[in-house]
Amino acid sequence: MAQLLGEPLFEVSSRGPAPIKDYFCFQITRSEVIWRWWKITLRLESCSTRPGEVRESHPEFLEDRQLQGQVLMVFGPGVLQYSKRLCEGQYDYLQRLPDSLLLHIMAHLQLEDVRHLAHTCHRFKQLCSSEQFWEQTVRLHCDTVSPGMEDLAREDMVKACVHSVMSVAVGVFTYVIMVTVRGSLHLRHNVHYRLLLQHCFCLMGFNAAGSAIHGIRSLRLPATRLTCWILFDLQVVMGRGITLTLTLMCMCTCLSVCRPLHYRTLVRSLYRWMMLAAWILALINPLVFTVVAFAQNPWSYLLSPDSQCPTALEGEVCIISALLLLFLMTLLIFISYVLICLEAHYAGHFSESNTKGRLTILVHVLQISLHVVPAFIIISRLQQELIVEIVTFLIFSISQVLSPVIYGLRCKELNMEILRLFPGCCSQCVTQESSVSVEQRESPGTLRRPSVVVISTGTCNHTCTVTVHMSAHESDNKNKHQIHEDYEETLV
C-alpha cells in the first residue's frame, strides 16, 4: 500500500484573502510539511523581499498552532482538517488507486452510489464523468450496444483520420499549384487552371468538414445539431463542387479539341455563367432541405447537443436528387471523353506512336471511375460490411487526393513553371518546347496549308496553330513523314 503514496501527498496553492495579496503554497510529503509564501506589494521598501519557506515534520506541524492558523486563514477549515489527518497517518488510499482498479470497483456500485461518490473528491468526479466509466456501465446494464454500433464507431474513427491526412496532402498540392499559377500570367488567364484551383479548394473543404464531422462522432463531443447540420451541408457543397469542377474541366477539354477555333471566344463568354450555374446546383439541394428541416423543428431541438452529429439530408428525396445530379455529371464527363476520342481518332492522333495520348486518356478514365463509382455507393447508403465500407471510402479518398496530381502536376506547362518558381525541387533543369512550327522557305510554286493542332485530353487546354509550307513539286514521302511526326508531338 505504501507504493500507492506518491510525492507529494497533498499540494494546494492560492492567493490570500482580502486585503492580503500574497501568494501561498501548502505541500505535504511523506516526511514533512512545507509552507511557502510570496509577498506581493506595491511599496518600494518591500520590493527586495524574497519568498519565504517553512519546513516542519508531521509531529511539529500538529503542535504548531501558528502555522495551522495561517493554513486555516488562507485555505479554510477543510484543508486544515485534511492536512492534520495526513500528518496523523490517516491516508486516503482509495482515491490513490489506479483507474483500472477503481473502474472495476465502481462496476459493482449502483448508479445512486456512483452519484454520491462523485461528490467526495475531484478525482472521483472526473472518473465518474469519464467515457471509460459510462461505456463500462452501458455494457453491464444495457443490451443496446450492438456490434453494428461498435463498427460504426470504428468507421468514424478511420474516416476522421483519413480525412485529416487527405486534407493536409491536398493542401500541400493546392499551395504548390496556387503559387505556380499566380506567378505565371499565362497560367493565370487559363480557364483550366482556374477550374483546377477551385477543384483543389473544394477537395480541401470537403476533407476538412469530413474530419470535423467524423471527429465529433468518434469522440462523442457534445456538438449542437445546428453545428452538425452546417458542417454536413458544407461537406456536401464541397463534394458537389469537386464533381462539378471536374465535369467543367472535361467539357473545356472537349471544347478545345472539337472546336479549337471557337474555344477562346466561347470560354470567355460562358465561363462566368457556367460557374454561377455550377455553384447554384451545388448549393440548392443542401440549402432547400436544411431550410425545410429548420422550419419543422423548434430552436430548442436545433441548439441541443447530440454526439451522433446528425444531418438534415437523410431523406429519400434528398438522396435521389443527389444521385441524379451525380449521374448527370458522370454522363457529361463520359460524353466529353467520347467526343475527344472520336475527334482524335478521326484526325489520326491515336496512332501506335502516340502512346502518351492514349495513356493520358486511360489515366483520366481510371481516376474518374474510382471517384464516381464509390460516390454512388456512399450516397445511396448501401448496407455493407465494415471492411467493405472502409475499402470503398479509402478508394474514394485516394482518387480525390490524386486529382491535383493528374489534372495539374502532370501538365507540362505547370511543371515548367514549378521548376522556375521552385528551382530547388529538381537538380536538373528540364527544358521543353511550348509550340511547334514547321516552316519551309516559300517559292513561287509553294502551296500554303494551315492546320490546327490541339493539345491532348485534359492536362493542357489550349490550342496552337501549325503552319506548314509545302511545295507542290517537292512534297515527297519523306517530308510528309517528318511533318506528321512533328504534328504528333504537339498532342501531348
Question: Distance between CA 220 and CA 131 in Å, rounded?
Answer: 9
Domains belonging to the chain, first-starting first, are 1-91 (no CATH), 95-145 (1.20.1280), 148-425 (1.20.1070.10), 446-489 (no CATH)
Task: Calculate the alpha carbon distances from 128 to 96, 190, 331, 358, 426 in Å.
Answer: 15, 61, 56, 64, 57
Q: What phi and psi values does residue 27 have, to the nearest 5 degrees?
A: -135, 140
Q: What is the pLDDT of residue 25?
A: 93
Question: Distance between CA 212 and CA 192 in Å, rounded?
Answer: 30
- If DSSP codes are grouped into helix, strand and coil, which group holds residue 457? coil
What's the chain's average pLDDT?
A: 77
pLDDT in tens, 383-432: 777 788 888 888 888 888 888 888 777 777 777 777 776 655 544 444 44
- In Å, how far from its chain's centre is CA 159? 10
Entry pTM: 0.57
Is it the case that residue 34 has pLDDT exceeding 90? yes
Q: Could you tell me what percent of the chain has a pLDDT over 70?
A: 79
At residue 193 the predicted structure's pLDDT band, cuts being 50, 70 and 90, is confident
Whether the Cβ atoms of residue 409 and residue 173 lie closer than 8 Å to each other: yes
Q: What is the pLDDT of residue 5?
A: 64
Is it the case that residue 315 has pLDDT exceeding 90? no
| Bigger pLDDT: 247 vs 135 | 247
Average pLDDT of span 475-481: 43
**DSSP E strand stretches across 182-309:** none
Is the bond leading into 17 cis (omega within 30 degrees of zero)?
Answer: no
Residue the block writes with cell 499565362: 186
| Bigger pLDDT: 16 vs 427 | 16
Q: Is the dihedral of CA 192, 198, 200, 206 positive or negative?
A: negative
| Bigger pLDDT: 289 vs 360 | 289
Three cell numbers, residue 74: 488562507
Question: Distance between CA 15 and CA 118 in Å, rounded?
Answer: 27
At residue 187 the predicted structure's pLDDT band, cuts being 50, 70 and 90, is confident
Is it the case that residue 473 has pLDDT exceeding 50? no
Instruction: Write the CB contacts of 127 (distance below 8 Å, at least 6 apart in sequence).
Output: 99, 102, 103, 106, 133
